[in-house]
Amino acid sequence: MDTQHHNPNIDEIVQQLKALVGNANVIYHPDDLLVFEYDGSIDRGMPDVVVFPRSGEEVQRVIELAYKQGLSVVGRGSGTGLSGGAISPPGGIQVAFTRMKRILELDEENRTVIVEPGVINLDLDTYVRKFGLRYAPDPSSQKACSIGGNVAENAGGPHCLAYGTTTNHVLGMEVVLEDGTLVTFGSLGNTGNSAGSASQPVNNVPGYDLRGVFVGSEGTFGIATKVALRLLPLPETVKTFLGVFLDVDTACTAVSAVIGHGIVPAALEMIDALSIKAVQNMADLGYPEDAGAVLLIELEGLKEEVEEIGAEVEAALWETQASQVRVAEEENERIALWAGRKGALGALGSLAPNYYLIDGVVPRTQLAQVLRQVAGLSEKYGIQIANVFHAGDGNLHPCLLFDEREPGALDKIVAAGAEVLEICVRAGGSLTGEHGVGLEKKDQMPLVFTDDDMAAMIHVREAFAPANRLNPGKIFPGGPAHKPGAHHAPRGMTV
């Protein structure tokens, strides 16, 4: 056994873990661990051992062992997160949920489903659509990201403008605390072992909303082993518009105009010229290559309602000087447009070998001003910055392109990223809309919160994890150091 690890007792711990979950569900050789050193961020940190539990009971046993040994534990879904949430501190155990991917119960009548944390977001949505239902939160990484990771980071997606982020769709969860205690937050109803109607439905429960506290806690409170989710009926009609504009400023004006009409689309996304170029480099998905920016707007609902509101959307786009307004008449056109939006970050690999993705939020009225300041950073640092983001709720995603092989490139990109976040906060915004704080933004937390604010948050964490053994070093300034790295663009499929 290779013993090049942080923990001198790792050989003994590995044997104990094998006894708990089986030899095939434990990996520990440094070469095998390399893939678990990364998530979608620019940080890296190699765990001493990765465990693949197959049940909630095995998760309990693993965490109990780690607690007795004084080891930290980091949960990992699919590794698509963008703030370093799944990065392990030195000497820790990573618990990966890729083998806990069962859909346990579907209650069609009450529109709820209970799943294990490793279930892939798109797999769940595809499954429930067979029953005329949908799972609304749709991160751009939904082909790969897991429900457990979505819960940890309170993931969003293009359709969160109308339907809210993950927290609005979670009804309850089974959670293992840092000492191995098993608790239930919210309601799980009557959890079974296979898909079928639940005899005891998931309901809202009285008392503190610990479910709401847990969602977005980034794995620092506990590790979810089952999650109960709210489903929605499929809409009768979906209509998708592409508004084409000469520049970003005009497109931002159109965003305010649409919302100003009292319209809340299911999705309202913006893609700038550099991102369009990257998308079209990979495949012709219907985006005009001469556009300065485009808006992708989707309406859902009853046919008559969608037609009426659609006419207002078109009018608002023309009134704000759109050069073109297209309607996806066929389903394949709509699918192509969304493939371009959701694959935009991966397509940036055609422009640069690396990228650093920022997640900030600003008031809609400040979009144009903030994007102009971000463009100024492009000139200041001599870097390309692509923008593809959730314009409807002001959730920006400037993507800073670079080449990690150039001396000093990573330091320059990190400095530029910090300035982007400062611009967002000065505009009355926030540090994150859906990616979490993790390692990436923890040093910027004082821009938004006082010491007393953060102390209060830490008190809440200590109520669940007083020893700070779960995902330590995240969210708050200080903590374990992690090795800086660079994220390679082909991996980046998440917004």
Task: Indicate the domain borders of the chain.
Answer: 103-233, 237-341
Residue 67 contacts residue 179 (beta carbons within 8 Å): yes
Q: What is the mean pLDDT of the chain?
A: 92
Q: Taking the domain 237-341, which CATH number applies?
A: 3.30.70.2190
**Summary count for the chain: helices (H), strands (E):** 15, 22
Question: How many residues does this entry show for the chain?
Answer: 495
216-253 b/e (C-beta count within 10 Å ≥ 16 → b):
bbbbbbbbbbbbbbbbeeebeeebbbbbbbeebbbbbb
> Tens of pLDDT along 473-493?
999 998 765 555 544 433 333
> Tens of pLDDT along 206-240?
889 999 999 999 999 999 999 999 999 999 999 99
Beta bridge partners of 50: 27, 94
Residue percentage of the chain with pLDDT more than 90: 87
> Tens of pLDDT along 374-431?
999 999 999 999 999 999 999 999 999 999 999 999 999 999 999 999 999 999 999 9
CA atoms within 13 A of residue 241's CA, in its CB half-sphere: 30
Residue 303 contacts residue 237 (beta carbons within 8 Å): yes
Q: Which residue, 104, 66, 69, 72, is CA-closest to 87? A: 72
330-356 b/e (C-beta count within 10 Å ≥ 16 → b):
eeebbebbbebbbbbbbbbbebbbbbb
Residue 36 contacts residue 75 (beta carbons within 8 Å): no
- Locate the DSSP E strands across 285-377: 293-301, 324-327, 354-357, 360-361
Which residues neighbour 124 within 8 Å (Cβ) at sequence distance 6 or greater?
A: 103, 113, 115, 135, 147, 229
Residue 480 has a pLDDT of 62
Residue percentage of the chain with pLDDT more than 70: 93
> Tens of pLDDT along 121-158?
999 999 999 999 999 999 999 999 999 999 999 999 99
Is the dihedral angle over the CA atoms 384, 388, 391, 397 positive or is it negative?
Answer: negative
Q: Taking the domain 103-233, which CATH number applies?
A: 3.30.465.10
> Tens of pLDDT along 255-306?
999 999 999 999 999 999 999 999 999 999 999 999 999 999 999 999 999 9
Q: Do domains 103-233 and 237-341 have the same CATH topology?
A: no
Angle at 189 between CA 188 and CA 191, to 5 degrees: 80
